[in-house]
Amino acid sequence: MPDERIEILIGKLIGGTLNATERRELAEWVQLNPDDARFPQALERAWERFEPEQPMPEVISDRILGNIFPATVSEDEPEESGGIAWLWPKLVAAALVIGLGVYWWASYRGSRDVAQQERAVKVQLADIPPGGNKAILTLGDGSSITLDSAGNGVLASQGGTSVTQSGKGQLVYKSGGKDEIVPVFNTVSTPKGGQFHIVLPDGTGVWLNAASSLRFPTAFTGKQRSVEITGEVYFEVAHNRQMPFVVKNGPTEITVLGTHFNVMAYDDEKIMRTTLLEGAVKVTRGGRQALLAPGQQARISPATGSLRVVDDVDTGKELSWKNGYFQFEDESLESIMRQVSRWYDVEVRYEGNSKGENFTGRLTRNSNVSSVLKILSLSGVKFRIEDKTIIVTP
């Protein structure tokens, strides 16, 4: 295919104006010429015109292109039945998403109308920035400190324990001498659009996702170290065999000696998930309990109290929020938008039948919300923002 023709087709691809015949032409050429460097080169040039402020990464390898286009186009498949319509989301994703440094595709369930897939995908939005390091610290006397504006240094001293904020969105508790310790309870709460890192008096590291909370004593005494959580929290527990660490969320308890694990327990999610990365934990709910090994996940239904263990969980996906990503695997639009709502501090409203697609992929949490919605809109769903509400329409 001539260079000029490749440029034209890719330009139409990114602009959303490629018709069915042109889609077939481009898809067949890419599949028949997977080693041709002109496709990624043209894609990069076209992206620069489409999104000049988003730098294009290095040229995509042949192996990645092979993963994006794994199948062969059937010459016998009639155009009116959709032809290579199944490949269209992957072609669009290659054009739009690679420039953002992620790999994304919409996992379609059932056939879609070709005309709907051909519609230009353009998101006209008032942008909303991502969340950041912010939280509220409630002290034992009921007073509160806003952590994103409190500044660095010592914030408080309670019962022989000092509380210090660092410039890295981190709160550190340090106990004085044993004779001085008088434990009081503190609570750190992140709002929607917030996250925070806490180092507890025993050296345990705790990371709070958006709309989450941790209640804990300023010093651990007695036979166990006990804390309470809501939302989503990741723990790296300091080992102490004589004093087990216990995490409570309502009637659920997670008991550990020293380990790394993540707990997702938002009230608006149907399943509570405890995912183990290192060590061992015991999850207890009512009369049921499960001992987890690394790579396993305990799933609890708050509605029924059922508990089951899942093996070989993608721990990277479960920890993606802590590492700065949204990561989805065959996940519904509603589930994704709940995460978007928490991180960007927005409400989400649906109009019409706009909830039907499942998605797989990874996106940075450091981008404005328009970048996320632009990718999701590849499925044909549309978005608009009114004040602090994202409205989803078919």
- Span 113-161, pLDDT tens digits: 333 333 333 344 458 999 999 999 999 889 999 987 667 788 888 877 8
pLDDT-derived band at 363, boundaries 50, 70, 90: confident
Range name among 20-34, 58-72, 314-328 with the lowest pLDDT average: 58-72
pLDDT-derived band at 65, boundaries 50, 70, 90: very low
pLDDT value at residue 149: 64
CA distance 352 to 233: 34
Q: Is the pLDDT of residue 59 over 60?
A: no
Mean pLDDT, all residues of the chain:
77
Output 141 or 262, whichever has higher pLDDT. Answer: 262
Q: Which of 319, 359, 316, 337 is nearest to 209 (CA)?
A: 319
CA distance 220 to 240: 11
CB 281 within 8 A of CB 261: yes
pLDDT value at residue 7: 75
The full set of domain ranges for the chain reads 3-118, 128-221, 227-259+268-314, 325-393
CA distance 28 to 19: 14
CA distance 240 to 375: 45
Give me the percent of the chain exceeding a pLDDT of 90: 43
CA distance 213 to 140: 15
The CATH architecture assigned to 227-259+268-314 reads Sandwich (2.60)
pLDDT value at residue 32: 74
For the structural domain made of 325-393, what CATH number should be given?
Answer: 3.55.50.30
Question: What is the DSSP secondary-structure string of 232-253?
Answer: EEEEEPPP-TTS-EEEEETTEE
The answer to whether the 227-259+268-314 and 325-393 domains have the same CATH topology is: no
pLDDT value at residue 127: 81
Q: Is the pLDDT of residue 45 over 80?
A: no
Mean pLDDT of 63-72: 36
pLDDT value at residue 360: 79
The most confident of 38-52, 85-99, 191-205, by mean pLDDT: 191-205
pLDDT value at residue 46: 60
Mean pLDDT of 351-370: 82
Beta strands across the sheet bearing 104-107: 104-107, 358-364, 325-332
Q: How does pLDDT run across 305-355, given as a tens digit for each residue? A: 999 999 999 999 999 999 999 998 888 999 999 999 999 999 999 988 766
